[in-house]
């Protein structure tokens, strides 16, 4: 009899835990689905409830010099943004509560740095300089609207015309 009671108790605990996890996932998904991609990117949470996880690679070249993309962008002592870095390798970690078409602009917003067709970091285009963006070696003109996809090799270059 004690064994049956223990089994029922364990089954009840497992069922309750599963229901609570399901409810938390539903609430998390419902809450985030009404937000824009940028709003989701800027959420800092301790529980990502990760449903979407990809790793594009970003390289920034300014006047032929590779710029370091810092470790721990979007990471602090108490929480983490869905778009973040762990090291200075250029690998962007996108761990979101739902699948989204996050963009380079979303990553730069988390980083707190400017990026557009007219500016990358502190460098602005002018009569002598241009900004180029390539994805997997192909030029794109989407700049901050470039969608981040798994294993893409993204290069932003600021150079002489």
> Mind listing the pLDDT tens digit for each residue in 139-148?
999 999 999 9
Please state the domain extents for the chain. 2-34, 40-160
Mean pLDDT along residues 116-126: 98
Q: What's the topology of domain 40-160?
A: Ferric Hydroxamate Uptake Protein; Chain A, domain 1 (2.170.130)
Which helix (H) or strand (E) segment holds residue 67: the answer is: strand 65-67
52-to-48, 112, 114, 131 alpha-carbon distances in Å:
10, 23, 26, 30
pLDDT at 22 over 50: no
- Residue 140 CA neighbour count, 13 Å, CB half: 19
pLDDT at 90 over 90: yes
pLDDT at 38 over 70: yes
CB 94, CB 105: distance < 8 Å: no
d(CA 97, CA 7): 34
Encoding tokens for residue 5?
């009671």
Per-residue pLDDT at 131: 98
Mean pLDDT along residues 2-29: 55
Per-residue pLDDT at 48: 56
pLDDT at 60 over 50: yes
Per-residue pLDDT at 26: 44
Q: Model pTM? A: 0.77
Alpha helices for the chain (secondary structure H): 2-33, 37-41, 104-111
């Amino acid at each position: 009899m004690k064994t049956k009671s223990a089994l029922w108790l364990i089954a009840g605990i497992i069922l309750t835990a599963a229901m609570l996890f399901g409810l938390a996932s539903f609430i998390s998904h419902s809450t985030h689905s009404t937000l824009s991609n940028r709003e989701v990117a800027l959420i800092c949470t301790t529980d990502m409830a990760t449903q979407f996880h990809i790793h594009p690679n970003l390289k920034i070249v300014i006047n032929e010099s590779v710029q370091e993309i810092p470790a721990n962008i979007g990471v602090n002592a108490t929480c983490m943004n869905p778009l973040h870095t762990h090291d200075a390798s250029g690998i962007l970690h996108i761990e979101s509560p739902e699948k989204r078409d996050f963009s380079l602009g979303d990553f730069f917003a988390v980083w707190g740095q400017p990026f557009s067709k007219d500016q990358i970091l502190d460098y602005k285009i002018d009569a002598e300089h241009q900004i180029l963006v390539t994805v997997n070696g192909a030029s794109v003109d989407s700049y901050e609207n470039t969608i981040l996809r798994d294993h893409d090799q993204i290069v932003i270059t600021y150079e002489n015309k």
